[in-house]
Structure 1
């Protein structure tokens, strides 16, 4: 049996590069040579605090049937290497990105569904099982493989997954062309949410501590204004920019209480706040202010039938993802170079990509 290298989560702070069998595509599946896989904040939380989305040892995931060790990585692009029986609408050599869901087979995931991402026991490829992008190859159901133009470089295509998170968050906000949006946090998700907003004709204001990330926001063109909240009264600046009205919409991308409080003050009456970040703790904000301003507070998680529209947006050239790729490494550098940088020096990086085969380095 042929083998390949894969980064697998064994336990908290224990990720190893193992030799595992090369998967074979089953009926209705495609085999993908992984080109690039991004390191996500969720991966860092699993490493430091997990398992969270990853199943507990002794408690296999109810859909995948897997428990640690599991292959990690859910933000990835690749090339179709083989087709399973019944797959006729892709060809070997096609470039694809993955919508990395693990969902019960009886759930409607058709093109009109708006809720499959909220279904019982939902999890993600690269966390809950079914392989992952931090491996040389992966077999996935055809439903979750989305063809992308070969004009889009595969490294940039690996950012399509977090870009789609931003796309869905913007969709949840009901923002309109010409509105003013405030984003709390210019990490990868904040920056990519800003990119979607700019592509839709929205004025974007960002609040961010990191000088590098503020610079990225301005130089990449995804933000019109980027403020350091330690030096600038963000609420007052937003009011100046909106003739005292306040932002029409705001996006919370940090899971930090003071940021959410700032957004509550900065949005206009009847404004919308979308909470994009994953909070590992309870929030404690001024609910009286929410009532008195009639603020609409909304949650968002991942994406649901958003990949086709996001791919179309990227292929149109309205979004440039190159500026957000700030590092590259192989599987052997995953923890010491990739994770370590993002955990201890995250102000110096945005998105670090991994080449599982090493061919991209």
Structure 2
């Protein structure tokens, strides 16, 4: 089969590799894949969770590994011992890619927060196959059935939607609170959709330099959009909501977004970092002290896929398919996927 494999930063190749064979307790899935901002980080730099030339602690794999952790697909085969009624070939499924050490003495794994295990490792980054391939075999504990009426394309978006859902839960958002989202890429737009599923009328402001992403934000429920290239975000926010926002989500992960979030928060507001940073930041701690701000991070998710799938199936989160700007063949994933998303942000949401 064909697979998009990661050899190192800037080096992703389409290789022909053997089809995977399902082991006991596994299913074989024909893949529908979505490209993620985290994969773009791998394309640009050495992100810590991606495989290296040293064997990974959990998977034992080294580069090259198959990329892709946001994906859905159709079961085409099952391994020995798998219940073929519950997991029948032809079923559409979503893969929850996060796994961790699951050791008894690991506090995060033992208390239900495996997403912050020191050894967190996603499928499609650290090994065990990935979504940028024609097929993958996956342990059943990471597989969720897609309800009828939910397409595979939408299913491929469940993983980033889960990232946003977890971040909103971490924020403590309640109906009526005002919100700033900086960065209207996939995660920023999914943050907006999750918030709108909870409260259709809260004031949500989105800051984003790319025109098409600002347009998407307005279409999907933003009360106001800001172009940070032409407006000062904190001033625009306070002109809209007076004392500042209750919550600020940083989905951009740069110094300017951090500063804008902190300056835009009202007293005792909450900053939530959702972005993966490529560089170190500086922080005015006295400003946090003086405003008594809450400051937190949100990393991936931990077993919320079922909740998110239910929200989508029940129609509480809608319009996801409208955020899919193009479909490309696996052979073209580097040129028309990675390079296009990096260089043509004005064309893609």
Structure 2 unmatched ranges of 5 or more: none
Q: Distance in 2 between matches of 1:261 and 1:338?
A: 31
Q: Distance in 1 between matches of 2:25 and 2:216?
A: 41
Any idea what the Cα deviations from partners look like across 1:10-44, whole Å, max 9, x if unmatched?
Answer: 2332211111111111121111111x211111111
Distance change (3 Å), C-alpha of 1:111 and 1:316: farther
Match of 1:274 among 264, 272, 291: 272
Query: How many Å apart are 1:204 and its aligned residue?
Result: 1.3
Q: Distance in 2 between matches of 1:93 and 1:280?
A: 40
**8 Å Cα contact 1:46/1:53 also seen in 2:** no
Query: How many Å apart are 1:304 and its aligned residue?
Result: 0.6
Q: Distance in 2 between matches of 1:227 and 1:171?
A: 25
Aligned to 1:30: 27
Asked if residue 247 in structure 1 is aligned to residue 242 in structure 2, the reply is: no
Aligned to 2:56: 61
**Matched residue SS, 1:328:** coil
1:1-361 matched pairs, under 5 angstroms: 4-34=1-31, 36-50=32-46, 52-57=48-53, 59-88=54-83, 89-106=86-103, 113-201=111-199, 202-219=202-219, 221-242=220-241, 244-319=242-317, 320-350=319-349
Query: How many Å apart are 1:110 and its aligned residue?
Result: 12
Query: How many Å apart are 1:101 and its aligned residue?
Result: 1.9
Q: Distance in 1 between matches of 2:160 and 2:203?
A: 21
Q: Distance in 2 between matches of 1:111 and 1:9?
A: 28
**Matched residue SS, 1:139:** strand
Structure 1 unmatched ranges of 5 or more: 351-361
**8 Å Cα contact 1:11/1:51 also seen in 2:** no
**8 Å Cα contact 2:93/2:146 also seen in 1:** yes
Q: Distance in 2 between matches of 1:240 and 1:327?
A: 36
Q: Distance in 2 between matches of 1:30 and 1:302?
A: 24
TM-score for the superposition, normalised by structure 2? 0.93
Give the aligned CA root-mean-square deviation in angstroms: 1.9
Q: Which moved more, 1:232-241 or 1:133-142?
A: 232-241
**What is the number of residues matched between the two proteins?**
343
Q: Which moved more, 1:108-117 or 1:73-82?
A: 108-117
Q: Which moved more, 1:109-118 or 1:172-181?
A: 109-118
TM-score for the superposition, normalised by structure 1? 0.90
Q: Distance in 1 between matches of 2:338 and 2:52?
A: 22
